[in-house]
Amino acid sequence: MRDPVSFLKEEYEALVGQDLDWKLRVLAGPSAPWCHVDGKRVLMFCSNNYLGLSNHPRLKEAAIEAVKSHGAGSGSVRPIAGNMDLHVELEERLARFKAAEASLVYQTGFAANSGLIPQLAGKDDLIISDELNHGSIIDGVRLSHADRGVYKHADPDDLGRVLGEAEKASPPPRRILVITDGVFSMDGDIAPLDRIASLAAEHGAMVYVDDAHGEGVLGEGGRGIVSHFRVPRERVQVEMGTFSKAFGVVGGHVSGSRELTRFAYNKSRTWLLSGSHPPAVVAACIAAIDVLESEPEHVKRLWDNTSRFKKAMKDLGFDIGRSETPITPVMVGDSAVAKRLSLRIFELGVFALPIVYPMVAQGKARIRTIMNAALSDEDVDFAVAAFEKAGKEQGLV
């Protein structure tokens, strides 16, 4: 008789044979500029901790105090008995920070996308998505059972074409939802949200932007892509984000109208059926908003470091793609070369991972670097020197 779970080993070994399996490295200690990974002291160059807040003393102190006052866990899901005063405070603070009527916190960004998107559109509706949107958006769209349209990456003209075709359909969609990432996580480019929102308004469509990599990075004081483009709040019905990146903690959220948040917490099963965040997490998120509002130097420093790194890499002759943000891909092309380059810079003291097929298209392998405000000029120069040495050895520069 065949072992019913033999496929687990077979499929994993197939991934190993194609060198497509994830080999997990171990971080000992905090996510800091210099840290210990697999026992080696290296410069962290691939963390989403853009502003260095995950190890900020104000966040750590807030987490400790919350454990003392509220305990280690919330005890339940929020609709039953896990809706603490800290959860309510965080949402009120976030809404003010975002200049939105209301905000709702989810357990993760993935939970926000996979839980809310299927409730906003379903049978007889149409979801129009950028072709390079994040996997959590793709999963949310699949769960919706709505018709799907795809437009060329960051191309408003092509979005206009899809919207126009939708209007001519018989019968036309009941509702249309346009979804885009704000900052695209593999290439570091920015969605033209101002033009997307204008087109959607012309066609009576809703706009949903996943700003996970834009918060703390773009806009006034790190308020994100809606602030960056100064898009009228009513033209972006759902601004989704995460506390897991620039805020330095963990968790997802959506901001918009009061009607949106009420709808979301009554309809999203990922929200309704998942335990609420522990008090320490919530308090650290509140402290992260405090830091962003009172210490603007972190966002400035992030962009100073980004400019320094991009200029140096360009001057050396590296291809850094179309990046406009602290996500800077070092384009290599061949997956094997990307893996060798990543291993070599790790030996030289820089931790940055290769992104290869099938995560990106064949021939588009790269080392994805992510800048951090906590890095010094010397740290950035150290990373550039490692890339220069390893790049010359691989014949890339």
Domain residue limits, the chain: 6-55+296-393, 57-294
Instruction: Give the pLDDT of residue 16.
Output: 87
User: What is the C-alpha separation between 220 and 214, in angstroms, rounded?
Assistant: 11
Instruction: Give the pLDDT of residue 21.
Output: 83
What pTM was computed for the model? 0.95
CATH topology of domain 6-55+296-393: Aspartate Aminotransferase, domain 1 (3.90.1150)
Instruction: Give the pLDDT of residue 186.
Output: 92
Catalytic residues: 185, 213, 245
Contact present, 135 and 358 (Cβ < 8 Å): no
Omega prior to 171 cis, within 30 of 0: yes
Instruction: Give the pLDDT of residue 362.
Output: 84
Omega prior to 118 cis, within 30 of 0: no
- The burial of 26, by beta-carbon neighbours within 10 Å (0-12 exposed, 13-18 middle, 19 or more buried), is given as exposed
Pairing of strands 206-210, 238-242: parallel
Angle, helices 193-202 vs 156-168, to 10°: value is 20
List of the chain residues with pLDDT < 50: none
Q: Which CATH class is domain 57-294?
A: alpha beta
